[in-house]
């Protein structure tokens, strides 16, 4: 792995949860997730897989995934993308997101190493300029046959739809906690999603509750 200047954490099977996890909001909701069930099936029955969680650090996810004997890396891409230093002025005086610096500071892996990625719904909240480069970086750092789980809001979701933190509660169930830090930036339809992951082997769609669409992507 190359030099990583952002805050990246790696947890091994059997490792303890971090000493000072991020404070959790109190309100917690639960729902069934077919996409998570398919992701779980893909990583069960094996040990020593390398997984990547792109959401905020979750002690629940760490315990569950390392308990299966896997290594878990964590990078909170949305928090990283909100760094004011990444907003730069162009020659015409407009504000622009510094994609190159963002990718230099995040996901700085130099070879395919991940068997599974929890992408969650970050594509709906990332700055526009970062979405496609982040997915391309995922294609570069995932092993062939690796599995990625992504969530997308449907067209019925409005701009005030809250951002959620996701915690794995079971093989097919998620606990999620709404927050207000990030604002929904866009809504993808199926064709947009297919184009976004066009360099991958296959996609499988699941319609979920709460105006969400779940997608299982195979590298």
Q: What is the pLDDT of residue 8?
A: 53
Phi and psi angles of residue 50, each rounded to the nearest 5 degrees, phi first: -110, 115
pLDDT of amino acid 115:
98
- pLDDT one-digit tens code per residue, 38-96: 999 999 988 899 999 999 999 999 999 999 999 999 999 999 999 999 999 988 889 99
User: Which range, of 16-20, 71-75, 106-110, 201-205, averages the lowest pLDDT?
Assistant: 16-20
- Pinpoint the alpha helices (H) of 82-124: 99-105
Structure tokens at 119: 């992408």
* DSSP strands (E only) in 105-171: 114-120, 142-153, 163-170
pLDDT digits (tens, 9 = 90+) for 122-162: 999 999 999 999 999 999 999 999 999 999 999 877 777 88
Instruction: Give alpha helix (H) positions in 13-159.
Output: 34-43, 59-67, 77-81, 99-105, 128-141
Closest CA to 175 of 15, 26, 11: 26
Give the pLDDT confidence score for residue 10 in this predicted structure. 75
Report the pLDDT value the prediction gives residue 26, as an integer from 0 to 100.
54
Q: Which residues pair with 212 in a beta bridge?
A: 153
**Residue 3 confidence (pLDDT) above 70:** no
Quick one: pLDDT at residue 101?
Answer: 97
For residues 74 and 47, what is the distance between their CA atoms, to the nearest angstrom? 18
Tell which residue, 147, 161, 138, 160, has the closest CA to residue 212. 161
For the chain, which domains are there? 9-14+25-218 (3.40.50)
Residue 216: per-residue pLDDT: 98
Structure-model confidence comparison of residues 17 and 170, the more confident one: 170
pLDDT at 188 over 70: yes
Closest by CA to 136, choosing from 73, 195, 197, is 197
Confidence (pLDDT) at 50: 98
Cβ-based neighbour number of residue 131 at 10 Å: 19
176: nearest Cα among 15, 11, 14, 36: 36
Per-residue model confidence as pLDDT tens digits over 160-186:
788 889 999 999 999 998 877 899 999
Instruction: Mention every residue, 6+ apart, whose C-beta is less than 8 A from residue 24.
Output: 165, 177
The pLDDT score that the predictor gives to residue 47 is 86
Can you give the pLDDT at residue 13? 60
C-alpha pair distances (Å), 75 with each of 80, 97, 107, 170, 208: 8, 19, 8, 22, 25
Backbone angles phi, psi at 94, to 5 degrees: -85, 160
pLDDT (0 to 100) of residue 140: 97
Alpha helices in 49-121 (DSSP H): 59-67, 77-81, 99-105
């Amino acid at each position: 792995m190359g030099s990583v200047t952002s805050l990246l954490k790696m947890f091994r099977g059997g490792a303890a949860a971090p000493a000072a996890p991020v404070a959790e909001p109190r309100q917690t909701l639960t729902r069934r997730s077919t996409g998570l069930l398919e992701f779980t099936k893909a990583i069960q029955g094996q040990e020593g897989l390398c997984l990547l969680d792109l959401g905020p650090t979750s002690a629940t996810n760490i315990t569950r995934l390392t308990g299966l004997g896997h290594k878990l890396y964590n990078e909170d891409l949305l928090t990283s993308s909100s760094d004011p230093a990444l907003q730069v002025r162009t020659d015409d005086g407009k504000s622009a997101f510094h994609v190159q610096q963002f990718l230099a500071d995040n996901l700085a892996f130099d070879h395919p190493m991940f068997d599974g990625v929890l992408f969650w719904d970050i594509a709906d909240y990332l700055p526009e300029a970062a979405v496609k480069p982040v997915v391309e970086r995922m294609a570069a750092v995932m092993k062939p046959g690796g599995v990625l789980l992504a969530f997308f809001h449907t067209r019925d979701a409005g701009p005030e739809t809250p951002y959620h933190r996701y915690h794995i509660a079971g093989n097919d169930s998620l606990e999620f906690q709404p927050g207000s830090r990030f604002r929904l930036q866009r809504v993808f339809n199926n064709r947009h999603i297919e184009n976004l992951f066009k360099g991958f082997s296959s996609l499988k769609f699941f319609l979920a509750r709460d105006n969400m669409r779940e997608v299982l992507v195979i590298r």
